[in-house]
Amino acid sequence: MRGPHNILRLIRTGATLERTGAMKVVLDAFEAPRLIRIAARGLVWPFQWLGYKGDPAMPPVPRALTALGPAYIKFGQVLSTRPDVVGESMATELRVLQDKLPPFSIKLAKQAVQVELDRSVDEVFSEFSEPVAAASIAQVHRARLSETGEEVAVKVLRPGIERAFRKDIDAFYFAADTIEFLSPASRRLRPRDVIEHFDGVVTGELDLRLEASSASEFAANTKDDAGFQVPEVKWEFSGRRVMTLGWAEGAPLGDNAALDAAGHDRHALGSRVLELFLSHALRDGYFHADMHQGNLKVAANGDIIAYDFGIMGHIDEYTRRVYAEILYGFIQRDYMRVAEVHFEAGYVPADRDVDEFARALRAVGEPIFGMDATRISMGRLLNYLFEVTERFGMETRTELILLQRTMVVVEGVARSLDPGVNIWDVAKPVVAGYIKDSIGPRAFGRDLLKTARVLARFGPRLPGLVEEALIRQATPVEQVKPRLWPVALMGGVGGAVFGAGVLALVMAVV
């Protein structure tokens, strides 16, 4: 589908922003220079008649994003968690995008349930409510199971959502390719790879069987986490376009008035959201990657309840260690170590100056420490970080996109609960604990044990592998073969001895 027709789609995006009045609001929120304001509005003004009108009852920015479609709504959801970037007023306006979008009819929802479960709604549920929440991809109904009387949440995909997302992402690919062609300097940011990553995430979110699996795995990982709950998946009543979970009763995390009325400590809640996210990301390498206020509730006992598992993040063990060392270096204000970790991981090209990079990182980190969290401008901080990455030729790391995005969102959620929450103070014990467990002697022993297990699996094949490697060399096969069996035998025995030694060492350490 990618082609010039996407030019119209992108023009219509700008035209919609101008027609709804969102263009001016966005430029004001980001304090855009006067020249950029004139250029941006001058380019789209002649085409504003192509823009969508949207719902006149909504504020300009939510009006524009909802008119443009689900992919744009996702972007608005991220911005809704960052009052320090877009301003408190706009952030509040954008929160309607989290779970208060216009729903589709209950009739269509019941039809989807019947098709997916191959049973009528009245047969499965004794009660089935009007939509209680509606977001960009799906809406949720409160229901009661006929068999057990248990209250559940039934999530149903929006009709035609797959096609709507495909159109948006198709235009994003076109924009990324155009940017890379017109601006070679932008290639270090890998815009196309970023869109491919987003495409993969969205594709997974459009299959509720995958979301149910994510919820199940996440619940297993976090079952022992104090003050945290994940609703149970009802597999018998779930499918590709319908998912049923246990009902989560609680106050919305984004409703500060309700939280205050219920007597909850908002500062403690904000700190716990940050702690839980860091713990899941570092300890498990598997985290909820859509932790905005619309996907979190607070139970009567103060537990945080997470739901909507369409977007989950995964990072491997090596990346977790790198990420933890970078965070811990910032917390300790050891900018040289932070710089060295970037170079060791290959995040910064080896031909750059590590001392100069450390000084640049100091300029990013020092303004944070010793300053009241309410005075930190994340907008200015992110802008300077972008300048640093450009200066040192750092490429976008697609495996970290979800992690970085979620960290921005979670910090925004925490600061919306209490502007005084400081991410670095909260992160220190979590990161320090992970560093102690993952980069100390015990971790070394576990790494050796994993190596021994791999060697043990390949032990029987070592003689053959050694023989194949030697045969591939330039020496004629006839001259090599007579000498192969002692070498292969030594390789197999050596691997077995090494594995036994590693196992003994691990037993002693662990």
- With the C-alpha atoms ordered 7, 8, 13, 16, is the resulting torsion angle positive or negative? positive
Strands 151-157 and 138-145: antiparallel
From the CB of residue 280, how many other CB atoms can be counted at a distance below 10 Å? Answer: 24
Give the SS3 label for residue 305.
strand
Do 48 and 19 contact (CB within 8 A), yes or no? yes
Do 280 and 315 contact (CB within 8 A), yes or no? no
Q: Which amino acid is at 332?
A: Q
Do 218 and 424 contact (CB within 8 A), yes or no? no
Do 225 and 304 contact (CB within 8 A), yes or no? no
Catalytic residue numbers? 290
Q: Which amino acid is at 41?
A: R
Give the SS3 label for residue 127.
strand
Nearest to 110 by CA among 144, 156, 146, 174: 156
Q: In angstroms, rounded to a whole number, what is the distance separating the alpha carbons of residues 488 and 232?
A: 53
**Count of helices and strands (H, E) across the chain:** 24, 10
CA distances from 371 to 75, 84, 375, 377, 424 (A): 29, 15, 7, 11, 11
Nearest to 255 by CA among 304, 297, 288: 297
DSSP string, 238-304: --SSEEEEE---SEETT-HHHHHHTT--HHHHHHHHHHHHHHIIIIISEEES--SGGGEEE-TTS-E
Structure tokens at 44: 């789209």
- With the C-alpha atoms ordered 496, 499, 505, 509, is the resulting torsion angle positive or negative? negative
